[in-house]
Amino acid sequence: MNRVSRLALCHYWVAFGLFLPAVVLGAWQMLMRSPLPAPLDDPNTYYISMSLHGTVMAYVLTTFFVMGFGYAVTATSLGRPVRGMMAAWVGFALCLFGTLLAAAAILAGRATVLYTFYPPLLASRWYYGGVLLLVGGSMIWVVLMILNMLAWKRDNPGAPVPLAMFAITATAYLWAWSASGVAAELMGVILPAAFGATAQIDAGLARTLFSVTLHSIVYFWLMPAYIAFYTLLPAAAGGRLYSDKMARLTFIMFLVFSLPVGMHHLFADPEHGDGFKFLQGFFTFFVVLPTLMTVFSICASLEIAGRARGGRGLLGWIGALPWNEPMVLATGLSLVMLGLGGLGGIINMSYAMNSMIHNTSWVTAHFHLIFGGAVVIMYFAIAYEMWPRMTGKPLRSKAMARWQLWLWFLGMLITTIPWHIAGLMGQPRRVAIFDYDIPVVARTAALVDVSVLGGVVLLISAILLILVLLRSHLGEKTVERPLRYALAVVAPTRLATSLNGFALWNAIVLVLMLVAYGYPIGQFLFVLKPHSAPAYNVTRDGADSD
């Protein structure tokens, strides 16, 4: 095993190692809020569990997975060792330490603020410090991705940066922009209160800063899935990538359009007026474009593969695809979930329709389907693709991996379809106990019961995942196979500067961010006289951070 493989595998194991207990928590939460009897039936425990589930799934699984993926991509796509290995390990250690701090604070009952904080609720300073360390540690990764790409460009003047490297660098820039919101919220608003420097928290400012992160972070999570769609899937299916330039344009559009749109999460908030809500809601429509381009591009690439394998007729190529390959199967399942979840998302971001579903179970269903479903199933597929390459041992076994993917897909649908419906029936999110004696609540009881079943299926799938990865890792060593990236139908030999770097696009992001967020953030400092609310401690005894 080479040095980069060891680095990437350590990241992956932290990600998946914490993923499994977080799925256990999620499954228990569904049982707890259902009419069925649950062990440990206690609302405080529910909110602790939810804080941990959210923190692990949203921050830990994703950040560690993306970082590990980034190092693996850098080494394999550039075909040379990663520069800055020492810094990479320091980043890994910082992120891990931050994760442990945050998890310990939550388990101690001192950080029950879910993972989106809800200031002026105030948790233990160790929790916020832990999250900040995790985010800060990942910035080392951001810098390393950018430096590795620049170094390669210097050594290969005029040559197109390999697509996978270009895309992971776009991811790094995106994450740096995105994380600036939560970092500013933590350092500017929350930590001063957590450390007792002030007793006041400006909730409006905090929410606005967090909204910078809140939407774009989702694109940070899903970038590995898209990179797999473009660079790994066509190779696994035995075909070619439809268009290299279209792929680059997609990643650039994600960088540019996923950032100035976070205020569509604040449509129902009283600290912003119609104008900027409308502007950012309008911008949000442009984020749909790169996803639609991807669906087109992926289907075209798969058709090329299917026809190369002898598929005939209008749809005959679909049956000719190698569906027994986990990467191909996962992509098919992912696209179904992406389609359903994406349509729901267009409703969420629609200026007026949002009022029907804001903060109901519909929203929980939406992001579980998009992120937990469409994105995380690609994390599994990437792991199955990379494990043999990194460990030099074969996957044990492909059949078990296929079962795992199918169960995850079915579990996600059984869980989220009832949630969507319950949300439309007015079931609020983030609730530990429903009083099923109330008629309006009682009508959602059967739906909640069905979703419990989905939770069980998801749990079985998560256990299978760990079994497959462990069995493969501990297996017999065989020959090493390098990771193969898809070739484009027309491989680019020269590219415009704008398609081979990010200077222009970062400048555009800066302008868009100033337009979209300049006033909404500036109003708290210069226009409004907001009356900050005193910070409210949610720790169990309240003794920690007064």
Partner 1 sequence: MLAMLAVMMAVIVFTSVAHALHPPGNVETINPLTLHLEGEFMESNLGTALEPDGSVTVRLIAQQYSFVPNCLLVPAKTPVRFRLTSPDVIHGFLLVDTNVNTMIMPGFISEVRTSFARPGDYFLPCHEFCGLGHHGMWARVVVVPKEQFAKLSRTQRVGCEPG
Of 153 and 429, nearer to partner 1 (C-beta) is 429
**Active-site residue flag, 368:** yes
- Asked if residue 204 binds partner 1 (CB under 8 A), the reply is yes
Biggest CA pair distance of the chain: 71
- Which span (152-160, 162-170, 224-232, 263-271) binds partner 1, by CB under 8 A? 263-271
| Least gap, CB of 387 to partner 1 (angstroms) | 36
What character string, x for contact with partner 1 (CB under 8 A) and - otherwise, covers 436-455?
Answer: --x-xx--------------
| Least gap, CB of 123 to partner 1 (angstroms) | 11
| Least gap, CB of 357 to partner 1 (angstroms) | 8
| Least gap, CB of 186 to partner 1 (angstroms) | 17
Q: Helix or strand or coil: residue 122?
A: strand
| Least gap, CB of 281 to partner 1 (angstroms) | 8
- Which span (14-22, 281-289, 370-378, 413-421) binds partner 1, by CB under 8 A? 281-289
| Least gap, CB of 282 to partner 1 (angstroms) | 7
Q: Which DSSP letter does residue 326 get? A: H
- Residue that is written with structure tokens 């950018």 in the block: 146
- Which span (1-9, 130-138, 412-420, 431-439) binds partner 1, by CB under 8 A? 431-439
Beta strand 536-537 pairing with 533-534: unpaired
Q: Do 267 and 277 form a contact (C-beta atoms < 8 A)? A: yes
Helices 203-227 and 62-78, packing angle to 10 deg: 40
In sequence order, what are the beta bridge partners of 343?
A: none
Q: Where are the alpha helices (DSSP H) in 3-42?
A: 3-32
Distance CA 119, CA 116 (A): 9
Of 264 and 393, nearer to partner 1 (C-beta) is 264
Q: Do 497 and 412 form a contact (C-beta atoms < 8 A)? A: no
Write phi, then psi, for 201 (nearest 5 degrees): -130, 130
Per CB under 8 A, which of residues 285..304 are in contact with partner 1? Answer: 285, 288-289, 292, 296
Angle at 403 between CA 401 and CA 408, to 5 degrees: 95
Of 118 and 175, nearer to partner 1 (C-beta) is 118
Distance CA 535, CA 265 (A): 23
Amino acid at 501: G
Q: Where are the alpha helices (DSSP H) in 265-325?
A: 274-308, 316-319
Per CB under 8 A, which of residues 376..415 are in contact with partner 1? Answer: none
Q: Helix or strand or coil: residue 351?
A: coil
- Asked if residue 350 binds partner 1 (CB under 8 A), the reply is yes
Distance CA 223, CA 291 (A): 11
**Active-site residue flag, 380:** no
- Asked if residue 272 binds partner 1 (CB under 8 A), the reply is yes
What character string, x for contact with partner 1 (CB under 8 A) and - otherwise, covers 107-146?
Answer: -----xxx---xxxx-------------------------
Q: Do 485 and 327 form a contact (C-beta atoms < 8 A)? A: no
- Which residue is catalytic, options 429, 443, 471, 473? 429
**Binding region for partner 1 (CB under 8 A):** 43-44, 47, 112-114, 118-121, 202-204, 207, 266-275, 277-278, 281-282, 285, 288-289, 292, 296, 346, 350-352, 354-356, 358-360, 425-426, 428-434, 438, 440-441, 528-534, 536, 538
